[in-house]
Amino acid sequence: MEPRRPAVLLVVCALVLVEAVAVAALGVAWLIDLARGGTEIPGAVVFLVVCCAGLAWLLVAAVRAVLRGRRWGRSLLLTVQIFLVLMALGWMSVGGTPWSVGAIVWGVATGVGLLMPPVVAFTGGSSDGGSADVTRPSR
């Protein structure tokens, strides 16, 4: 029988899925702008669209991994939250807006949720095949 997922893990996964949808929507908006000819540097816009698609896919894959109890998903999601907070702090330095404050609160809340003991326990139980998971006999 599979262990029950902690409620805080489900909340964190929902927050990250909202992030994935937002990143994908940003990519679609840039793609629409590109199709309408509203950009002077189409190569850069294509690059940004591809990056948005990749990040959205990576966030969804990490959520799936975390829901299956995999450690790597939690690490990746925490890294994304740290970058989100750092970017939002940069936005604050050039003129704070409600969006930058919201991004900081969102990233910190998601990051703290990922570090809650029930989430760490749930995502730390199964082996991902890494060398750190191998139990070596003592000599």
> Binning pLDDT at 50, 70 and 90, where does residue 60 land?
very high
The confidence score (pLDDT) of residue 124 equals 87
Domain with 70 in it: 7-125
> Binning pLDDT at 50, 70 and 90, where does residue 26 land?
very high
Residue 96 lies in a domain: yes
Alpha carbons 107 and 69: distance in angstroms, whole number = 21
Task: Indicate whether 31 pLDDT > 80.
Answer: yes
Residue among 2, 17, 114, 112 nearest 64 (CA): 17
Residue 139 lies in a domain: no
Task: Indicate whether 92 pLDDT > 70.
Answer: yes
> Binning pLDDT at 50, 70 and 90, where does residue 129 land?
very low
Per-residue pLDDT of 104-126, as tens digits, reads: 999 999 999 999 999 999 998 54
Q: What pTM, to 2 d.p., does this model score? A: 0.84
Alpha carbons 91 and 85: distance in angstroms, whole number = 10
Single-letter amino acid code for the residue at 19: E
Report the share of the chain in percent with pLDDT over 70. Answer: 88
Are 98 and 89 within 8 A, CB to CB?
Answer: no
Average pLDDT, the chain: 89
User: Count of domains in the chain?
Assistant: 1
Alpha carbons 116 and 112: distance in angstroms, whole number = 6
Alpha carbons 60 and 31: distance in angstroms, whole number = 21
Residue 92 lies in a domain: yes
Report the share of the chain in percent with pLDDT over 90. Answer: 77
